[in-house]
Amino acid sequence: MNEREVSVDVQLGENENSRTERIAVKIKNVPNSRSFKIRLTDKNTAILTKPRYASIKEALEFLNSCTSWLAKQILATRKKISLAEFLQNSPKIYHLDSEISVEIIVSRTSPFMLADTQNKKLVLAPTQENFETDLENLFLKFATKSLAELADVNSKETGLNFTKTSIRDQSSRWASRSSSGTLSLNWRIILLEPQYQTYIIRHELAHTKFMDHSVSFWIFLNRICPNAQRLDKEVEAKAKEIFNIQLT
């Protein structure tokens, strides 16, 4: 067999900001080759070439030794986009169960924000002098309030409590819950559709009962958030684009 396809999990980021992605890897024999080589062909695929005489076991050992290198290559190939550019291309966010249109105007005096959630509209008015910084500060102010409300609603509906919310700029993680009950929520959550927002919050609230990701955890989570495992996969698929959005 000259070609075989396998997969490997690579960890993107470090510590609490890490997440795992699965990379498809094609293993190919190369005539006259004397060494193993690997290259990233796409953000989620790679090719590993090996000497014809080398075994698959040896190829897999080499692959496992390359996971850190693959992670660095993947992160390097991800196109970064500013929040301002993203909102100009896709001027919408989600607040509770509603899609909110976002309008950006330039303030001639000081930056301000008009949040009319009843009419599903958010106006952000940064100054021209500090356009991106003002825009990000206004956006984060709205996100802080919106996500706190989201957590409160889901807490009341599930009967699962938390102590407070903290809005974070994690580079590769949606949310976390501390042992003291603090929900650390990524501001990017408000860019996700309501069903994914609900899933993320209830996933963290479920950790009040189970601190791990055991079978019991997933059974419980499915009770308070049906189709949790499907939503988990869909959220992770969306992460590949959303986490490219960066603050200045």
Query: What is the reported pLDDT for 41?
Result: 83
Whether residue 185 contacts residue 165, with contact meaning beta carbons closer than 8 Å, is answered with yes
**Range 52-57 average pLDDT:** 92
Query: What is the reported pLDDT for 33?
Result: 87
Select the more confidently predicted residue: 3 or 10: 10
**What distances in angstroms separate CA 236 from CA 18, 100, 147, 218, 241, one per listed residue?**
12, 23, 19, 16, 10
Task: Write down all domains in the chain, each with its CATH number in brackets.
Answer: 3-77 (no CATH), 81-246 (3.30.2010.10)
**Range 135-156 average pLDDT:** 98
> Over the stretch 207-244, which tens digit does the pLDDT of each residue have?
999 988 999 999 999 999 999 999 999 998 898 789 98
* Percent over 70 (pLDDT), the chain: 96
Is the pTM higher than 0.75? no
> Over the stretch 109-141, which tens digit does the pLDDT of each residue have?
999 999 999 999 999 999 999 999 999 999 999
β-bridge mates for residue 100, sequence order: 93
> Over the stretch 70-85, which tens digit does the pLDDT of each residue have?
988 887 776 788 999 9
| DSSP string for 106-153 | -BSSS-EEEEETTTTEEEEE-BSTTHHHHHHHHHHHHHHHHHHHHHHH
pLDDT score of 56 more than 80: yes
SS3 42: strand
Kindly state the tokens that stand for 169.
């700029």
pLDDT band at residue 190 using 50, 70 and 90 as cut-offs: very high
Select the more confidently predicted residue: 126 or 23: 126
pLDDT score of 30 more than 60: yes
Select the more confidently predicted residue: 14 or 33: 33
pLDDT band at residue 17 using 50, 70 and 90 as cut-offs: low
